[in-house]
Amino acid sequence: MASMISRFLVIISYVLLRFLNDVHGGVTSNFIRSEFPSVDILLDNEVFAIPNGYNAPQQVHITQGDYDGKGVIIMWVTPVEPGSNQVRYGTSEKNYDFTAEGTVKNYTFYNYTSGYMHECLVNDLEYDTKYFYEIGEGDSARSFWFQTPPKIDPNASYKFGIIGDLGQTYNSLSTFEHYIESGAQTVLHVGDLSYADRYKYHDMGVRWDSYGRFVEKSAAYQPWLWTVGNHEIEYEPYMDEVVPFKQYLYRYSTPYAASGSTSPLWYAVRRASAHIIVLSSYSPYVKYTPQYKWLEAEFKKVDRKKTPWLIVIMHSPIYNSNNAHYMEGESMRVVFESWFVQYKVDVVFAGHVHAYERSYRISNIHYNVTGGAMYPVPDKSAPVYITVGDGGNQEGLASRFNYPQPNYSAFREASYGHSTLEIMNKTHALYHWNRNDDGKKVATDSFVLHNQYWNKSLRGRKLKKNYVHAVVPTLELNKV
């Protein structure tokens, strides 16, 4: 009799805990996206149009050129001959008071020979100012503009867009056009740019070129901060091309030296009220490696009184409950997560998984391989982890999530989209994930992000209310 009562109580407990779990756990969206074909847009499409004029500059793109936002690196390609390396620029249209000289280089990749890759740093600019610039020669010259960010200030407002795994399909185009409509001022690209490595031989270079023309409509006018993904590695022994990141590095420069980095693959910048740390998931990062030592030093340089918002971007997510790439980020979690908690990173953006997912504030820093603690737990000092690998490349969606949804996962959905993070002041930022919804822009997941340094008391209350219940039932269940 006693054992029957005991079994009955266990069953009742299980049912109650499952109920609690359902109530307080995360959400797996039931939105089913009707599939567009995930194929690359044909090369003769107008989105890849080659600009008119002999040797006209193409694939124009800019990125931040210094640590604090007073510099811009301008890059472009001339297809026939090197031509001019000069950038003419000024604060009024068609009236360029200044010039800067850049450099040019090209490369071969198996039987592909690149155009001439130009790079020019324009430095010592005024903050919060619109600059017009012109590149190219004679009738083939082309002009663009960009807006410098406000000076480093804790209350500076600024709107970032987050795009991952973009590629060059019709889904990519939908994401890209929605991003442009968002009015964001700078892109944080979390890696996997062109997907040119899905091709072979000569076409790999050709698809890097088409991607460069594809994103020019935005990337020539506002900085894109790039992160490397696995599709940038291009380790191709069958073509005798074995230098990792070769094509990417010729085409996409970063201001790495300004943050004391010794590699373009990891670096940091400060922009308005944000300190942005860019990591490489595919470079060594364990203890004693250059990336590890650099990050250790960079975190010590963060001053939340000047830049309250601490953002980390990487390619492979640390928390991911999708079947695709499950636990690929675990090794980086083991090495870096304790710093993310120690330095109270606000948010970590990643890509790689072709779906959307957002976590609660949790950490697994007490994990111990010899026993004891082994679960992510609510942690008020931990970042929110967001996976935005849903740009729309030719590999399609990662539509199989693991079940049950782990308690650390707040919201997940397998469809295409992009995110925006609109910093309002030193305490609040508005976050949106915008599902493409077959060509329409739909804001699907939104919340107010409270700053980890300036909004401690409010954040603590929210954590207690929303998150503690979300994890406790699972821990109890495992004891049962």
Which residues are known catalytic residues?
325
Within 10 angstroms of residue 146's Cβ, the number of other Cβ atoms is 20
Q: Which stretch binds Fe ion (CB under 5 A): 223-231, 243-251, 291-299, 433-441?
A: 223-231
Per-residue binder mask for Fe ion (CB under 5 A), 346-365, x = binder: ------x-------------
Instruction: Give the span between the Cα atoms of 387 and 54, in whole angstroms.
Output: 42
Q: Which stretch binds Fe ion (CB under 5 A): 30-38, 85-93, 112-120, 186-194?
A: 186-194
Residue 189 near Fe ion by CB under 5 A: no
Instruction: Give the span between the Cα atoms of 163 and 175, in whole angstroms.
Output: 8
Q: Which stretch binds Fe ion (CB under 5 A): 28-36, 187-195, 337-345, 457-465?
A: 187-195
Strand pairing class (186-189; 224-226): parallel
Shortest reach from residue 354's CB to Fe ion, in Å: 8
Shortest reach from residue 251's CB to Fe ion, in Å: 18
Shortest reach from residue 230's CB to Fe ion, in Å: 4
State which of residues 212, 223, 229, 392 lies at the interface with Fe ion (CB under 5 A): 229
Strand pairing class (309-313; 347-350): parallel
Shortest reach from residue 352's CB to Fe ion, in Å: 4
Q: Are 329 and 319 in contact (CB under 8 A)?
A: yes
Q: Are 47 and 210 in contact (CB under 8 A)?
A: no
Residue 440 exposed, middle or buried by CB count within 10 Å (0-12, 13-18, 19+) = exposed
Q: Which stretch binds Fe ion (CB under 5 A): 230-238, 264-272, 284-292, 430-438?
A: 230-238
Q: And the tokens for 63?
A: 């990125």
User: Please, which residue, 387 or 405, has the CB nearer to Fe ion?
Assistant: 387
State which of residues 84, 175, 230, 436 lies at the interface with Fe ion (CB under 5 A): 230
Shortest reach from residue 190's CB to Fe ion, in Å: 9
Shortest reach from residue 422's CB to Fe ion, in Å: 26
Within 10 angstroms of residue 408's Cβ, the number of other Cβ atoms is 26
What's the angle, vertex CA 368, arms to CA 371 and CA 459, rounded to 5?
120
Q: Which stretch binds Fe ion (CB under 5 A): 90-98, 192-200, 337-345, 442-450?
A: 192-200
Q: Which of 420, 412, 419, 417 is nearest to 391 (CA)?
A: 417
User: Please, which residue, 91 or 331, has the CB nearer to Fe ion?
Assistant: 331
User: Please, which residue, 393 or 455, has the CB nearer to Fe ion?
Assistant: 393
Shortest reach from residue 283's CB to Fe ion, in Å: 15
User: Please, which residue, 83 or 392, has the CB nearer to Fe ion?
Assistant: 392
Distances (CA, A) of 442 to 170, 189, 318, 366: 17, 20, 26, 38
Give residue number: closest CB to Fe ion.
352
Residues between 24 and 53 with contacts to Fe ion, criterion CB under 5 A: none
User: Please, which residue, 344 or 352, has the CB nearer to Fe ion?
Assistant: 352
User: Please, which residue, 352 or 459, has the CB nearer to Fe ion?
Assistant: 352
Q: Are 70 and 124 in contact (CB under 8 A)?
A: yes
User: Please, which residue, 229 or 417, has the CB nearer to Fe ion?
Assistant: 229
Q: Are 52 and 69 in contact (CB under 8 A)?
A: no
Count of residues of this chain found to bind Fe ion when the rule CB under 5 A is applied: 4
Instruction: Give the span between the Cα atoms of 298 and 256, in whole angstroms.
Output: 12
User: Please, which residue, 116 or 226, has the CB nearer to Fe ion?
Assistant: 226
Instruction: Give the span between the Cα atoms of 361 and 347, in whole angstroms.
Output: 9
Q: Which of 284, 216, 277 is nearest to 251 (CA)?
A: 216
Strand pairing class (158-163; 186-189): parallel
Residue 192 near Fe ion by CB under 5 A: yes
Task: Please give the DSSP secondary-structure letter assigned to residue 179.
Answer: H
Rg for the chain, CA atoms, rounded: 23
Shortest reach from residue 351's CB to Fe ion, in Å: 6
| Chain positions contacting Fe ion, by CB under 5 A | 192, 229-230, 352
